[in-house]
Amino acid sequence: MIMLFKLRLLIFTLAFACILLFFSFTPSGSSVPETNCKDIIEKMIKGINTVQRLKYNLKIVERTDKKFNNFASSVKLNRKPRQLYLATNGIEVLWTEGTNKGQALVKPNSFPYFNLNLDPNGSLMRDGQHHTINEMGFDYFGNIIEHIVSKYADKLDQVFKLEGEEVVNNRPCYKITITNSDFKFYDYKVAKGEDLISIARKLYVSEYMILERNDAKVDDYTDVKEGQIIKVPGAYAKNVSLYIDKLYFLPVGSRIYDDIGLYEQYDYFFVQVNPKFEENEFTKDFKGYGF
């Protein structure tokens, strides 16, 4: 009996010693990180690419003409085929890829008080806004992040930094900052058939930023000619603070800065990932719509 007790005591002593040995090699107050910046970005890109349907409320702050415009809207989005319903301040927008000659059905909240068919890239629909309904959702932003990752693959840790965790828009998030310390504008020679939108897509930058910096000689997104020299940014932004939802790995908050200051800010609330949409939910006759 005494021998059995001594054996148990020896086993307990050895186990306790192992525990002490483990903690002796772990600095006080530190722990193995749950993940790293590269993993989070890769999971975010994967999350964006695998989402099929979304519902969310969106708050937008965008700097235009040296002032800030604020918008709020509720959005329903189907990715394939791309279908969109948007409601903001009594205005409703409905758009489905490959239908209505590419135009969006718009119910205005002012004169002329009847439905309009409008070009999503036209001046009426994007007046005073950085983006069009074509950039709704996460795909557009995800493509820009993928480009940055590819561009700085050999020095990713100098550009991307995991700052910790924060609760943003009522969601626990990872905070990642992106820094492009040499952000500046360059001369660009317009090629045949190009406009500001195609140039921006090729360079992964904002067409509104190009338009704003060339406002003395460019009136709109198509007002450029072959051979014309314009100013374009070398990157989408100088600094970005990105808040990535810890559950869905989607960018539910972003603050984007250029060389002047805050350029745009996007906040997603009440995000529903892959909700079930009814068969006619992207038609004007769906219940609750006002078309």
CATH for 37-157+255-273 is 2.50.20
46 HSE (CA, 13 A, CB side):
9
Question: Is the confidence at residue 2, as pLDDT, over 60?
Answer: no
Is the separation of the CB atoms in 131 and 211 below 8 Å?
A: no
Mean pLDDT over residues 274-288, rounded?
96
- Give the Cα-Cα-Cα angle 221, 224, 229 (nearest 5 degrees): 120
Per-residue pLDDT tens for 103-141? 999 999 888 889 999 999 998 999 889 999 999 999 999
* Per-domain residue ranges of the chain: 37-157+255-273
Report which of residues 67 and 10 the model is more confident about: 67
Q: How far apart are CA 94 and CA 102, in angstroms?
A: 11
CA dihedral 241→164→138→76, nearest 10 degrees, is -110
Per-residue pLDDT tens for 55-95? 999 999 999 987 999 999 999 999 999 999 999 999 999 99
From the list 289, 277, 282, 275, the residue with the least C-alpha distance to 99 is: 282
Per-residue pLDDT tens for 15-28? 333 333 333 333 33
Per-residue pLDDT tens for 181-210? 889 999 999 999 999 999 999 999 999 999
